[in-house]
Amino acid sequence: MKTANAVVLLLLAAASALRAETGSTALPFLKMDQGARAAALGGAYCAAGDDAWSVFYNPAGTALPPRREIALGHNEWLEGIRNETLAYVHPLASGAALFGGLNALLSGGMDKYDAAGTKTGSFSAQEGALSFGASVPLGGGYYGGAAAKGLYQKAAADSALAWAGDAGLLKVSGDWRLGASASNFGTGMKLGSVSFPLPLILRAGAAWNYQDKLRISADGVKAGESDTALAVGAEGELAVNPGESFYARAGYRTGRSRYAGPGLSAGVGLKNGGLRADYAFTPYGELGDSHRLTIALSFGGERPAPAKRRGKYQPRRKAVQTAPARRIEKKKKGKTEDAPVYFIW
């Protein structure tokens, strides 16, 4: 009951509507959803994330994958802009995990104009973020994670560097998860003669799992100078056979302008052993549509599950003698022998 009450309060606090605003922060691409699974859920992934894509939503979620995992993502964004991503999680036997992420935006060629509106040529722009971090179990179902990242931006002949950090907390309680994270807190970025702050992104969310077949998640997201948005998503899993599953997903996010689509998203996924392929479709109204494709591969052995402790260690089962030996008559040469009695504990 306490967990359910906490979820309700968390969602009510995060439910104010988002207004689309012209950004005044550097690197606005950092606000984009990463990974087709998360994008199909409307970006409601702060508490729901339990794979390599957690790198971009809540670093604490990287403590949950039991095996090493690498994920690659390709996003056909708007007006020919491409977004490429890479994430890796390396679980450790202690329950901790190391991880890294790469996020790059490639604009291609764009027309260049002077102050009078006259075309003077073309230019290209690139933006990127590279992060490394770690996550650890904190006890009592809590996990924490943090990352340091380097940020890069280039437009025409100007380029700039900046440094930032991410941090997150996750609570796992039965079928519920609660999460909170902060991303991109750090230095400003100076491009040319103008300095811009980084887009600080605050997330808080909850996720509920029903019999490992249906997952529902909801996040409140405060991205940069925008108001808080509410994101909700649902994922259903259909097991085709013991090693294969099919996924159907849908999501919704508030705060779109009248010209930027309804805020809906959808997607599908296929899993075969340690390989999973996902696709997400997001319409943006008059701006066009976004198509995301991602592939994730889990490999290597599973790290040991947390031991059930009795004192410091749970003793291994062994055979012990627990009763006095009783005499058994044997007909061999008229002798008697003691036969010990054992039980397993």
Which sequence spans correspond to the domains of the chain?
A: 2-299
Query: Is residue 50 helix, strand or coil?
Result: coil
Over its length of 345 residues, how does the chain's per-residue pLDDT go in tens digits? 443 333 333 333 333 333 333 457 788 889 989 999 999 999 999 999 999 999 999 999 999 999 999 999 998 877 678 899 999 999 999 999 999 999 999 876 666 666 666 666 666 678 899 999 999 999 999 999 999 999 998 876 778 899 999 999 999 999 999 999 999 998 888 777 778 889 999 999 999 999 889 999 999 999 888 888 999 999 999 999 888 999 999 999 998 877 778 889 999 999 999 999 999 999 888 888 889 999 999 999 888 765 443 333 334 444 444 445 444 444 444 444 444 443 333
What does the alpha-carbon distance between residue 338 and residue 14 come to, in Å, rounded to a whole number? 74
129 and 103 in contact (C-beta within 8 Å)?
A: yes
Considering the segment(s) 2-299 as one domain, its CATH architecture is Beta Barrel (2.40)
Cβ partners under 8 Å of residue 166, min gap 6: 59, 131, 133, 145, 146, 147, 149, 181, 182, 183, 184, 185
Residue 296 has what DSSP assignment?
E
- Residue count (the chain): 345
Q: With residue 4 as reference, give the H or E element that holds it.
A: helix 2-13
Residue for token digits 């924490």? 144
CB atoms inside a 10 Å sphere around CB 272: 12
Residue for token digits 């702060």? 46
What does the alpha-carbon distance between residue 35 and residue 155 come to, in Å, rounded to a whole number? 26
